[in-house]
Structure 1
Amino acid sequence: MPDAVRTAAVRAVLIMSLTLIQAMVAFLCTLTGSWLAFPMVLSSVASTVVATWSVLDVWVTRQVWHQRNGVVSVPSSTARRMRRERRRARRAARTADLDGTGIRRDHRGASDLSQA
C-alpha cells in the first residue's frame, strides 16, 4: 500500500474507532438518563459524518494514486517491460537522428541548418 493511502487509512481507522467509542458513551449516557446524553448523541452524528468522509478519503486517495502512478512496478509487470521498450525505442530513434557532427536531422534527411 502506498504511503499516501496508508496514511489516509490509518487516519480513517483512528476516526472510526473514536466514533465508535463516542457512540457507545452516548448510548450509555442515554441509558442512565444523564444530561450528557443529548450532546453526545449530536456529536456522535457529526462524528459519523466525519468517519464516512474519512473512509471516502481513503478510496479517493487510492484512486488518485493509481491514476498518477499506474501499475505498481514489480519485476513481472507488463507495464514496466513496455516502458523499458519505449525508452529503448526513443533512445534508438534519437541516436539515428543524430549524424556524426551532432546536428539533428529531420525525417526527410535535411539538416536543420539548411532551410533552402
Structure 2
Amino acid sequence: MGTAEGREAQAERVAERPAATRGQREPDRDIPVRGHVGGSADTERQPGYRPLWIEEPAKRHPLPDPVRTAAVRAVLIMAVTLIQAMVAFLCTMAGSWPAFPMVISSVVSTVVATWAVVDVWVTRQVWNQRNGVVSEPSSTARTLRRERRARRRRERAALREQERIRRRGGAGQLSHP
C-alpha cells in the first residue's frame, strides 16, 4: 500500500467519519482547554486532569545579588576565553597571521578568567561573613551584630537619660550648659 492505494484508503476513512469531527484533533489530557467551564481552578479538580509540572520548593537558597553578579561575570569571561582559545587553535592550524595575537590574548584571557572565578569565591565568602550565613560561633557577622546592638542600647539609654534630666528641669546635673 505504498502510493495510490494508500491514499484512496485514507480518503475513504476520512469520508466515513462524521463531518463534525473531521477537522478536530483529540485533546491532550495534560493540557487544559481554553474556554473550558470554570477556568484553571476547576480543571485541577477534575479526576482526569494531570498538570504538566509540579512546583517544588528550592532545595538551596538563591545566590545573593553580589555573588550572582560575580558568577555571571565569570561565566561570560570564561565563555569569551574559550572562544578565543578555539579561534587561536584554528588560526594556528590554518597558519593564518592572527594566530600569534590570538594565542597571546588567550593566555591573558585565561589569567582574567581565573581571577573572575576566584572573585566569585571571595565575594561569596565576604558576603557570608558580613551577613551571618555561616553558623559558627566565631562568625564575624554575629560579633558585629552583637556590637551594633550593644552600641544602639547605649545610645538609647543615653537619650532616655538626657530626656529624663530635661523633664526634671536640670535637677541632677552638676553644672548647666
Q: What band does the TM-score fall into relative to the shorter chain?
A: 0.5 to 0.7
Per-residue CA distance 1:42-86 (angstroms, 9 max, x = gap): 0000000000000011111111111111128xxxxxx8xxx8xx8
CA distance in 2, matches of 1:113, 1:24: 80
Match of 2:131 in 1: 69
Q: 2:93 aligns with which of 5, 8, 31?
A: 31
CA distance in 2, matches of 1:41, 1:32: 14
Give percent identity, aligned residues only.
Answer: 74
Match of 1:54 in 2: 116
1:1-116 to 2 correspondences below 5 Å:
1-71=63-133, 102=164, 113=173
Larger RCO (alpha carbons 8 Å, 6+ apart): 1
- One-letter code of the match for 1:45? V
CA distance in 1, matches of 2:164, 2:117: 56
How many pairs align?
Answer: 92
Q: Secondary structure at the match of 1:23?
A: helix
Q: Secondary structure at the match of 1:35?
A: coil
- One-letter code of the match for 2:97? W
**Which structure's CA Rg is the greater one?**
2
CA distance in 1, matches of 2:173, 2:131: 40
Q: What TM-score do you get using the length of structure 2 for normalisation?
A: 0.43
CA distance in 2, matches of 1:66, 1:19: 29
CA distance in 2, matches of 1:49, 1:113: 66
- Superposition RMSD in Å: 3.0
Deviation at 1:102, TM superposition (A): 3.7
CA distance in 1, matches of 2:115, 2:133: 26
Segments of structure 1 that go 5 or more residues without pairing to the other structure are 73-78, 104-111
- One-letter code of the match for 2:87? V
- One-letter code of the match for 1:36? P
Match of 1:107 in 2: none
Segments of structure 2 that go 5 or more residues without pairing to the other structure are 1-62, 135-141, 166-171
